[in-house]
Amino acid sequence: MESMKQNLVDIVGAANVIDNPEVLASYAKDESFATPMKPWFVVKVENAEQVQNLVNWARKSQTPLVPVSSGAPHFKGDTVPSVPQAVIVDLSGMKKILSISRQQRMCVIEPGVTYGELQEALAKEGMTLSTSLRPRANKSVLTSVLEVEPRLNCLHQFNYVEPLRCTEVTFGDGIQMFTGEAGGGPQDLKKQWELGKWQVHPGGPGTTDIVKMVTQAQGSMGIVTWASLKCELLPTVRKSYLVPAKKSTDLEDFVYKTIWGRVGDRLFVMNKAYLAYLMGDTVEQIAELKTILPNWVAPVSLSGDILLPELKVESQEYGLKEYAKQTGVHLLPEVPGVTADEVIEKASTPSGENYWKLTYKGGCQDIFFVTTLDKTPKFIEAMYELAIEVGYPTEDIGIYIQPQHMGTSVHLEFSLPYNPDNAREAKLVKELYTAASMRMSKLGAFFSRPYDIWSTIQLNKDAQYYMLLRKVKEIFDPDNIMNPGKLTIK
C-alpha cells in the first residue's frame, strides 16, 4: 500500500494524496441508498497531465478510479465506489475559467467551477449559462452538463446535451483528446483560439460523437478536464407568471401550447410540495407553504436582452395570454405564499450552503426519469398508490416536471424527503424508492441516467443495447478502471 501511495505522490504531490480515515469515510457513502464502500485514497488533481498520468498508473496497477468534481452532499450513488480499493479523483480544485468569448457566446471551464462562480464571471460580459433547477452551491457545472441535468429553458436546448459542446477527455485507455470541433486540432486551446476556433460545434470529430461517450456515463468512460459551453445573453427585462391548477392535467395543454409557440425562457411544473421545498427556507415556512400553495403551479418567465427587449417581452406576453385563454388557465403574478419573480429567481440561482432539498427533513431521495408530458399522469397516480401502500405521506411527495429538448420529452422527478436519522422512516423510503423505480419502469419510464438500482432496471430491458454498451466500454476503458460497477446489470 505504501508503494501505491508513493506512486500517487509522484503523480500529484504529497499534499494531494489523502488517506485520512475521516476523509475516506466521507467518500464511502452519500445521501442515497447506494451500498457504502470506502475508497483507498483520495487524490486531488490540478491539471490534465496529472489526470492522464493517473489513468496510466491505474491501468498498470489495475486500480479503479472514481472521478468527483462537485462538493458534498452527493445524492445519486455515482461517486460512491462500487468496488474496493478505489481511488477518488477529486477534480474540484481545477477551478479555472479558461476563456469567455462574448462574440461567440462561449466559455471554456475546468471541472471545479461552480455555477455561482461561472455566472458571476459571465455576467461581467453580459452573459449567463442556462442552469438546472437551483443547483447546489458547490455543484460542478461541468458534471451537471455531463450528466445532462435538465435545464430550465427547454426552448434553447437544440441539442439534448445543451449547453455542452466540446471537451478534453482522458479515456480509460489513457488517451487524452479533444472532442467535437476542437478534435480537428491542434490539440492546444490557445492555438485554436488564435485560429478563430472557439470550440463551438459539439459534433465529432469525424463520424463519431465522442462526447456522447462521456455524457450520462457517471465517470465510467473517462475523465473530462475542460468543457466548452454555449452561453446565453443576460436578460435586461424579465416578466414572470405563475399558472395555478388543481390537477397536473389542467396544465398540460398550456405547457404544450407555450412550447409550440416558443414563448419564454423558463417553463416548468411543480406540485405544491415541491414548490414549497424550493421556496421555503425553514421547516416552518415549508409547512406553511404546503397548506396555502395551489396544488399545482407552472412558473413561466419571459425575457428580453439586446434586441428591443421591452417589445420582445410585450409580444411574448401577448402570445402567452392567448395560449392561457385558449387552454383555460390563468396567468398570475403571484399565488398565496410566493410571487412569480421569487420563484423564477430562486429556481435560477444556486442554493445556499445548506442544500434546499434537505431543509424539510434532513434527507431526500429522488426518483427521476424521462417520459413525455402526456404520460406523466399515469406515473403520478402510480406513485401516490405506492406511497399509500407503504405508508409514506402522499402530501410530502414533491413532483417536478421539466420539459426538455424543445419539448419532445420531459424530466419527471419525484422527491421524497425523509429523516435519515430515523431508521424506520429511512427503511420506508428505501422500500418506496425500490418499488416505485420498478413500477415506473414497467409503466414505461426511461431511466436515461441509470444511477444505482436503475442501472439494472433499465439496462435489463434490452440485451442488445447492453451488449453494445459493454463493447463500447471495453474500447474506451479496456481495463475497466473507470468507476467500475456503474452502468452494469447486477
Partner 1 sequence: MAFPRELYKALEDIVGKENISENIGVCETYRCVPSQSSAHYGPTKNWTPRPQAVILPGSAEEVQNIVKICNKYGVEFKASTTFWSTMGYIGGDFALQIDLRRMKSIKIDAKNMHAVVEPYAIAATVQAEAMKVGLNLNIPGVGCSSSTLANFSTWVAFGPNSISMGYGNENVLGMEWVLPDGEIVRTGSLASDDGWFCGEGPGPSLRGIFRGAFGAAGSAGVCTKIAVRLHPWPGPADFPTYGLAPAYKADWGPNFKCYTLCFPDWKSWARSIQYFYESDIAYSGHRQFNMFGRNLKGAMIEIISNHERQLTDLEELVNDPYIKEQTEKMRHDYQVVIAGFTPKDMEYKEKAVDYILEQTGGWKSEMMLEKDKHDYALLYLTRLGHKNLNYVMCGAYEGVLGLTGNVWKAIEVADEATALKRKWETEHTSIAATGGDSAMGCLSGLGGGGTTGWEFFTNFDSYDKNSVEGTYAFVETTQALMNKYAFGPDFCRWNSDVRKMNGYNYTQEEQNEMFKKAAQPWVFIYQYKIREAINPKNLCGSYVRTLDPKALEE
Site for partner 1, residues 405 to 444, rule: CB under 8 A: 405-409, 441, 444
Amino acid at 370: V
- How far apart (Å, rounded) are the C-alpha atoms in residues 56 and 223? 12
For position 15 contacting partner 1 by CB under 8 A, the verdict is no
For residue 44, what are the contacts with CB-CB under 8 A and spacing of at least 6?
Answer: 12, 16, 18, 90, 92, 93
Among the candidate windows 59-67, 329-337, 357-365, 403-411, which touches partner 1 by CB under 8 A?
403-411
Read off φ and ψ for residue 78, nearest 5 degrees: -75, -20
Residue selected from 135, 450, 484, 485 as contacting partner 1 according to rule CB under 8 A: 450
- Of 184-243, binders to partner 1 (CB under 8 A) are 184-187, 195-198, 200-201, 203-218, 220-221, 230, 233
What is the H or E stretch that residue 335 is in? strand 334-335
- Given the rule CB under 8 A, which of 280-288, 342-350, 378-386, 447-455 is the region that contacts partner 1? 447-455
Considering the rule CB under 8 A, would residue 94 count as an interface residue with partner 1? no
Shorter beta-carbon distance to partner 1: residue 315 or 339: 315
Determine, following the binding rule CB under 8 A, whether residue 446 of this chain makes contact with partner 1.
yes
Q: Which of 158, 287, 328, 427 binds partner 1 (CB under 8 A)?
A: 158
**CA dihedral of residues 122, 127, 130, 134 (deg, nearest 10):** 60
Q: Which is nearer to partner 1, 21 or 196 (CB)?
A: 196
- Name which position in 67, 81, 135, 183 contacts partner 1 (CB under 8 A): 183
CB of 439 to partner 1, least distance (A): 14
> Least Å distance between CB 64 and partner 1?
18
By the rule CB under 8 A, 458 interacts with partner 1: yes
Min separation Cβ 183 and partner 1, Å: 6
Closest by CA position to 47, among listed 100, 112, 101: 112
181 touches partner 1 (CB under 8 A): yes
Q: CB-wise, 85 or 315, nearer to partner 1?
A: 315
> By CB under 8 A, is residue 489 in contact with partner 1?
no
Within 105-134, the residues that bind partner 1 by CB under 8 A are: 105
What is the size of the binding site for partner 1 (CB under 8 A)? 96
How far is 218 from 216, CA to CA, in rounded Å? 6
User: Among 71, 73, 294, 319, which residue sits at the site for partner 1 (rule: CB under 8 A)?
Assistant: 319
Q: Which of 148, 189, 329, 331 binds partner 1 (CB under 8 A)?
A: 148
Q: For the CB of residue 255, give the shortest distance to partner 1 in the complex, in Å.
A: 10
Binds partner 1 by CB under 8 A, chosen from 256, 285, 339, 431: 256
C-alpha cell at 199: 470550440
Question: Does 315 help bind partner 1 (rule: CB under 8 A)?
Answer: yes
C-alpha grid cell for residue 357?
A: 432539498
In the complex, the smallest distance separating the C-beta of residue 27 from partner 1, rounded to whole angstroms, is: 22
Dihedral sign (CA 414, 128, 145, 82): negative
β partners of residue 339: 334
- CB of residue 85 vs partner 1: minimum separation in angstroms? 24
Q: Provide Rg for the chain, Cα atoms.
A: 22
Closest CA to 130 of 103, 98, 107, 96: 107
Name the minimum Å distance from CB 479 to partner 1: 14
CA dihedral 6, 11, 14, 20 (to 10 degrees): -70
The answer for residues whose C-beta is within 8 angstroms of residue 259's C-beta and 6 or more apart is 154, 155, 267, 403, 406, 407
Q: Verify binding: residue 262, partner 1, rule CB under 8 A.
A: yes
Residue 323 CB, shortest distance to partner 1, in Å, is: 9
62 versus 460: smaller Cβ distance to partner 1:
460
Q: Which stretch binds partner 1 (CB under 8 A): 26-34, 56-64, 152-160, 292-300?
A: 152-160
SS (H, E, C) 122-174: HHHCCEECCCCCCCCCCCEHHHHHHCCCCCCCHHHCCCCCCCEEEEEEEECCC
Question: Looking at beta carbons only, is 18 or 446 nearer to partner 1?
Answer: 446
Binders in 330-389 for partner 1, by CB under 8 A: 370-374
447 binds partner 1 (CB under 8 A): yes
Burial class (CB in 10 A: 0-12, 13-18, 19+), 20: exposed
Q: Considering Cα of 155, then 156, then 159, then 160, what sign does the dihedral take?
A: negative
Q: Is 471 in the site for partner 1 (CB under 8 A)?
A: yes
Alpha carbon distance 34, 369 (integer Å) = 18
